[in-house]
């Protein structure tokens, strides 16, 4: 199985801050990576696909980059609605595997 | 737009078989181009992919659950189902169904159901 390691596991930030979350794959996965946002009691919502593709309807303050084994999700200017848990997902091979999550909290 | 909705019992006893159904609305399953997936989330924990079924009927399962999992599809009813046998308390989780485009360039898990909570307790 491909292991996905996210960092940090939690993060405190303020509205307006720029935030970056990193995901590392245990082996190369091309750009077959997505980022998801999950709020309490809700299903995950796709933000980014193919490492850098912005999901339709997602604000442009969200961006993704990377290829191979290192990926990042950046939120350029945090808004109150962005405080949530974020997961990366590799879909390069089976079984599909998620990172352990990054909980983004208000400072 | 396509929507997914899980259904099934919320409470099971140890050793029973969990059966969940995901109903697809607002679109077709028979046109192909997607796989239909089950994913679960243990309380307060991360996400675990369970398995999927493709339009062709091919299935892929997480090796950690493979011996107990069966995923099937009924395109005429626009439903796909999860069967998980011999459940234990470790199977207590929220179960999500999700759609995945078959072309990697289109990404994975673009549409999710709202999730259904399953508790295993004697």
- Check A98 against B106: CB less than 8 A apart: no
Confidence (pLDDT) at B78:
94
- pLDDT single digits (tens) A59-78: 999 999 999 999 999 999 99
Confidence (pLDDT) at B28:
82
Q: What is the mean pLDDT of residues A37-54?
A: 97
Mutation pick from A4, A43, A54, A94 vs chain B, by most beta carbons of B within 10 Å, is A43
Written as one string, the DSSP assignment of A29-83 is -TT-EEEEEE-TTS--EEEEETTTEEPTTS-TTEEEEEETTEEEEEESS--GGG-
Mutation pick from A50, A86, A96, A99 vs chain B, by most beta carbons of B within 10 Å, is A96
Q: Between A45, A50, A100, which is nearest B105 by CB?
A: A50
* % of chain A at pLDDT higher than 70: 100
Tokens of A83: 């405080």
Query: A6 pLDDT band (50/70/90 cuts)?
Result: very high
Confidence (pLDDT) at A30:
97
- Check B110 against A50: CB less than 8 A apart: no
Which residues of chain B register pLDDT less than 50?
A: none
């Amino acid at each position: 199985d491909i292991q996905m390691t996210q960092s940090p596991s939690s993060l405190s930030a303020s509205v307006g801050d720029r935030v970056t979350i990193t995901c590392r794959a245990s082996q190369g996965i091309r750009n077959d990576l997505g980022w998801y946002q999950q709020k309490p009691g809700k299903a995950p919502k796709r933000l980014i696909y193919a490492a850098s593709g912005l999901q339709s309807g997602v604000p442009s303050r969200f961006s993704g980059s990377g290829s191979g084994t290192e990926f990042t999700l950046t939120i350029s200017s945090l808004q109150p609605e962005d405080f949530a848990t974020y997961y990366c997902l590799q879909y390069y091979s089976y079984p599909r595997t998620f990172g352990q999550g990054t909980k983004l909290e208000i400072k | 737009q396509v929507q997914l909705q899980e259904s099934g019992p919320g409470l099971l006893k140890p050793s029973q078989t969990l059966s969940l159904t995901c109903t697809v609305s607002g679109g077709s399953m028979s046109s192909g181009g997607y796989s239909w997936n089950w994913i679960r989330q243990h309380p307060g924990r991360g996400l675990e992919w369970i398995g999927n079924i493709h339009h062709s009927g091919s299935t892929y399962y997480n090796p950690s659950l493979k011996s107990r999992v069966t995923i099937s599809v009924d395109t005429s009813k626009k439903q796909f189902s999860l069967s998980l046998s011999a459940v234990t308390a470790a199977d207590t989780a929220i179960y999500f169904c999700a759609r995945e485009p078959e072309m990697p360039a289109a990404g994975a898990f673009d549409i999710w159901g709202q999730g259904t909570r399953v508790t295993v307790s004697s």
